[in-house]
């Protein structure tokens, strides 16, 4: 009897923990590059995927951000073109640059349009990079600052973005007038395969996958693209390639929030909520198995 009472108590606490976290909306980082008077600048802002509201965090002057990514160490990496112009990766701490890496012209020659367009970090902290007007995919080691050329995809797709989900690596991009979603084989790029294709730009898009705050087991991939309805953001379903629009937003880069960046009240609440759900899930599984 006492054991059953303990189980009931733990289950009630679990339900309370999860339900108390549900009102916190999914929030991501976005960037938008613009020009005023011939000078490039980029806005970095948080974007609420529940009510579609944006809050500007800072503005980078004389830098055009192509994409941004949250590194596992909690630092925000941005990639783009500086005022040089040169392709560059910068590391930010509350929007102040703490490190910059100039990308060799042999990898990205901005004079022929090879600007950085995609960044994606794996759990070990390696960053995958792709450039406009170039089909090669690179792996960047932030510690050694070495770029490793992984080669081009078998269909020579121009990559617009990457995402990891379900233990697999995916890319969005295009070949000619056809856009694709591909599953990438990092051990053998030549064995990568096309999953979905569209002639109307459905997968001409940026991708990001983040945990679903409302489901202990699932992660959600969000896709940002320009189509007839305008610049839209929505949920992408890898089971059938379908897209469900949830917001309109003109940003170009997308990154997940970090539990440590920026150190603001909203970020702290988001971290607490995510951790609370994780704890709730663990308790639920523990109780069901005992």
How many whole angstroms from its chain centre is CA 73?
Answer: 15
For position 258, what pLDDT does the model report?
Answer: 58
- Per residue in 151-185, pLDDT tens? 999 999 999 999 999 899 999 999 999 999 999 99
| pTM beyond 0.95 | no
Q: Which domains does the chain possess?
A: 30-204 (2.120.10.80)
Q: Give residue 164's Cα distance to chain centre.
A: 9
Average pLDDT, integer, range 261-290? 44
Q: How far apart are CA 103 and CA 71, in angstroms?
A: 18
pLDDT digits 0-9 by tens, 21-74: 333 458 899 999 988 777 788 999 999 999 999 999 989 888 899 999 999 988
**DSSP label at residue 74:** S
What's the whole-number average pLDDT of the chain?
82
Alpha-helical (H) ranges within the chain are 2-21, 265-289
């Amino acid at each position: 009897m006492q054991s059953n009472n303990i189980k009931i108590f733990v289950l009630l606490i679990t339900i309370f923990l999860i339900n108390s976290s549900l009102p916190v909306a999914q929030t991501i980082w976005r960037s938008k590059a613009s020009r005023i008077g011939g000078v490039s600048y980029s806005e970095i802002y948080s974007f609420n995927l529940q009510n579609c509201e944006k809050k500007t965090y800072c503005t980078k002057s004389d830098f055009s951000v192509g994409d941004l990514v949250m590194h596992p160490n909690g630092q925000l990496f941005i990639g783009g073109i500086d005022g040089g112009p040169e392709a560059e990766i910068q590391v930010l701490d509350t929007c102040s640059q703490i490190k910059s890496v100039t990308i060799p012209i042999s990898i990205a020659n901005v004079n022929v349009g090879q600007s950085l367009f995609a960044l994606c970090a794996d759990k070990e902290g390696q960053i995958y990079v792709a450039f406009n007007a170039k089909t090669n995919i690179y792996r960047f080691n932030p510690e050694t600052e070495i770029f490793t050329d992984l080669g081009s995809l078998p269909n020579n797709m121009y990559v617009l973005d990457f995402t990891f989900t379900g233990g697999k690596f995916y890319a969005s991009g295009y070949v000619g007038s056809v856009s694709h979603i591909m599953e990438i084989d990092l051990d053998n790029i030549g064995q990568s395969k096309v999953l979905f294709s569209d002639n109307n730009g459905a997968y001409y898009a940026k991708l990001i996958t983040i945990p679903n705050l409302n489901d202990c087991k699932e992660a959600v991939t969000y896709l940002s693209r320009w189509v007839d309805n305008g610049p839209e953001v929505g949920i992408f379903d890898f089971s059938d390639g379908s897209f469900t629009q949830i917001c309109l937003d003109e940003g170009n880069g997308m990154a997940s929030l970090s539990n440590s960046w920026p150190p603001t009240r909203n970020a702290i609440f988001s971290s607490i909520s995510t951790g609370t759900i994780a704890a709730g899930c663990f308790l639920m599984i523990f109780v069901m198995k005992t």
